[in-house]
Structure 1
Amino acid sequence: MPDTAATAPRAGPGAFADVLRLPGVGAITAIAMAARIPATAVGVTLTLHTVTTLGHGFGAAGLVAAAVPTGMAIGAPLLGTMVDRHGLRPVLALTMTAGLLFWSVAPLLGYAGLLGAAFVAGILTLPVFSLVRQVIAAAVPAGRRRPAFALDSMTVEISYMTGPAVGSLLTVWLGSATTMRVIGAGLVLAGIALWRLDPPVRADGDGAARTGPRPPLRSWLTRPLVGALLAVTAAVIAIMGTEFAFIAALTSSGQAWAIALVNAVWCLASLLGGFLYGSARRGLPLPLLLAALGLATLPAALAWSWWSLLFLLLPAGLATASTLAAGSAAIGDLAPDRVRGLVTGLQGSATTLGIAIATPLAGVLVDTASPGVAMLACGSVAVVAAGVAAPLLRVRT
């Protein structure tokens, strides 16, 4: 079999096959998909536990569900720095211990205790999304990262299609306390799998910390990197704000039964877009993809029924995974090897910041205007951010 790392990159499905043949990439992709399923089930499970078991309203439940990603936004860069300095396994030991403790005692806590513990647990949660991107950037040569990150974005879509559904169904069937412990067990098993695999987190393949000074901040926190992080945040605002708005639209019109169907078709369109992006001979620039995502979101504001919403969201779905993959590829190329964990942690924070902005922004606009206005606003954020990010990304320092 030829050495796929040494031959010219292929287009089409062969691009993904070549990437998966690289040492460790297939294993980390499989582990990532398995680990992200319990990770994406956290929000809905904590929400249902707060409402159905603790007897609080959805406002209180939203605070608990937001506590974990808020903690993760703080913890991801810190844990990424630990990976840079000490390697992967010490961070796995810390996060597995913290996760096992939280998910064991969380079902026993009252509301105030759960809120505080969820925030602390978020800080110490295994940053599986950031970690996988770091491993991909270290294991995959720069010329092959586009299909690698496209594949990663496609697995994220599959996880988001699966995790929340599994979390809600298990909560209904087994109760929230059991489901929370199942999530904890899943995250610990993912940590054990990563421990055994011990993938390289730097391009030299050395998992231990390097000696010598770290590069100064201004040498790597460049304008292109800021532009790429801004693009990621704006893309997440468009995606998550649109999701919130169409859920509100279908619920208020008595068509809540169609939420799962619309979401599934939207995710399938995103999978197709990610496949086309990763298999193309040449990738499109990140600002162009971000602008396309924002513009493609705008027509959904005109939807008048569940089936019109489904069709009007298809163009936005096609641009979703490809935009996120382009953001990951740009950040992976711009991150110096010595601080790759910190930079991918910042990408995780940028993603979480987008979620933190999108939900309240869409919520306020839904309440004061309409779901359509919320979609217009969130899509417009992506278009404006594309215009800001484009000149930043043109500067290579």
Structure 2
Amino acid sequence: MRLAPYRSVLALPGVRPLILVAILARIPSVAAAVTLTLHVVEELHRGYFAAGLVATASTIGAAVGAPLLGRMVDRRGLRPVLAVCTIAEGVWWSVAGSLPYPLLLGLALAAGVLTLPVFSVVRQSLAALVPPDRRRPAYALDSMSVELSFMVGPALAVLMATTVSPHATMWAIGAGVVLAGSALFVFNPPVRAESEVASGPVPPRRSWLTPRMIAILAIAAATTLMLGGTDVTVVAVLREADQISWTGVVLALWGVYSLIGGFVYGSLSRAPSLVVLLGALGLGTALVALAGPQWFLLALVLVPAGALCAPTLAAAADAVSHLAPPSVRGEAMGLHGSAITVGLALGAPLAGWVIDLSSPRWGFVATGVVGLLVAVAVLPVYLSRRRPPASGVPAQRGAEPALVVAE
């Protein structure tokens, strides 16, 4: 491992504060789902299915809204989008705790569309701040910061909801989102480098939403599908073994493995390609089913799959940043965010359905096999040699090596 790539990236103007703001700004966002669930179950006295419908509505809204907001950033700039989303989310979280369930369900969809685009904006800004040949460690840092946010946010939400109330937690999340949006508004990170100032017409979507880009989006969705499925399956396996009290420890270790894997990935001089990372993650996830019944054996067998989480997510974001033209990078990163959101939304119910039909361990197999199948499906497109554009414009320098050699 080398620290030089990280030192080089963090020395670039704007990168260090962007990563710090990203960690803090993402915490309220990742705490939202569990807070809504606890509110519906504990305060509205509805079942978990009803709570899941609210989470699903919010997820659908976020998946639809991410590329639309990214397109607005490309066309209108970052600050107008941040202002609209910050106000909308502030209003949503201030009234959500007082709404009857039908209205809560309907407004969750609308609020999801205007979710503060912290994840996409940070990744878009990294592409503007970091030269193409140094983006891999930059996106590794970003993936590690996401992991830290997920390790802190839901735990804080559960702690506050159980010690104070879910309603108070919703107010706290609203305040956190407003602070996050305000901080990003003041910081105003660039979404294009100075050398990428838009000139001329915006390229048509068909010119950059190519089969290769679609393959990368499919890989991103498959990655988070496995993560969502693993989360649920770990709980089911430990519950069956009567070791449910160790769930937090196992999931925390899984997050640590991802942090370590992301750190190693960003420090390598030559890294595996994205499709190899996905295939290895799929195989590692399926093999977790072989773990013994004890919690420490499950935690041990999770090491390979856990260590590949952050690298695969970082490689997908890096690939999107190379393929998307600067003038539409916001929309492309929005589509990337939608793919991640859809994957997470599908992973848990897929694993749960398989677990209900068979046994908990088959949840690992089912989601791991999905990852392997996607890796096989996209391999021909991913490895195909890119043809020069019909317009005669030369291919972007450095894009192909970033995809094939060291994503």
Q: Distance in 2 between matches of 1:392 and 1:203?
A: 30
Deviations 1:267-324 (A, max 9, x none): 1011010000000111210000111101111221123221211111111011111111
Q: 1:149 aligns with which of 134, 139, 154?
A: 139
Alignment of 1:107-146 (within 5 A): 107-146=97-136
SS in 2 for 1:215: coil
Q: Distance in 1 between matches of 2:315 and 2:158?
A: 31
Q: 1:105 aligns with which of 95, 106, 114?
A: 95
Deviation at 1:251, TM superposition (A): 2.3
Q: What amino acid is aligned across from residue 250 of structure 2 in structure 1?
A: V
Q: What amino acid is aligned across from residue 313 of structure 2 in structure 1?
A: L
- Does the 8 Å contact 1:226/1:392 carry over to 2? no
Q: 2:202 aligns with which of 214, 236, 240?
A: 214
Q: Does residue 158 of structure 1 match 2:184?
A: no
SS in 2 for 1:322: helix
Partner of 1:370: 359
Deviation at 1:392, TM superposition (A): 1.6
Partner of 1:67: 57
- Does the 8 Å contact 2:231/2:348 carry over to 1? no
Q: 1:307 aligns with which of 288, 296, 312?
A: 296
Q: 1:267 aligns with which of 234, 255, 260?
A: 255
Deviation at 1:211, TM superposition (A): 5.8
List, as ranges, runs of 4+ consecutive aligned residues in structure 1 with deviation greater than 4 Å: none
Partner of 1:15: 5
Q: 1:281 aligns with which of 245, 249, 269?
A: 269
Deviations 1:93-150 (A, max 9, x none): 1001101110110111011111111111110011111111111111111000000000
Alignment of 1:273-352 (within 5 A): 273-303=261-291, 304-352=293-341
Q: TM-score, normalised by structure 1?
A: 0.94
Q: What amino acid is aligned across from residue 248 of structure 2 in structure 1?
A: A
- Does the 8 Å contact 1:138/1:205 carry over to 2? no
Deviation at 1:254, TM superposition (A): 2.4
* Structure 2, gaps ≥5 residues long: 388-407
- Percent identical among aligned pairs is 49
Partner of 1:78: 68
Q: 1:234 aligns with which of 199, 215, 222?
A: 222
Partner of 1:189: 179
Q: TM-score, normalised by structure 2?
A: 0.92
Partner of 2:395: none
Q: What amino acid is aligned across from residue 351 of structure 1 in structure 2?
A: I
Deviates more, 1:381-390 or 1:166-175: 381-390
Aligned length: 385
Deviation at 1:174, TM superposition (A): 1.7
SS in 1 for 2:194: coil
Deviates more, 1:69-78 or 1:238-247: 238-247
SS in 2 for 1:184: helix
Q: What amino acid is aligned across from residue 165 of structure 1 in structure 2?
A: A
Deviates more, 1:243-252 or 1:191-200: 243-252
Deviations 1:326-352 (A, max 9, x none): 111111111110100000000011111
SS in 2 for 1:371: coil
Partner of 2:381: 392
Q: What amino acid is aligned across from residue 106 of structure 1 in structure 2?
A: A
- Does the 8 Å contact 1:133/1:344 carry over to 2? yes
* Structure 1, gaps ≥5 residues long: 1-10
Q: Distance in 2 between matches of 1:131 and 1:105?
A: 26
Q: Distance in 2 between matches of 1:28 and 1:258?
A: 35
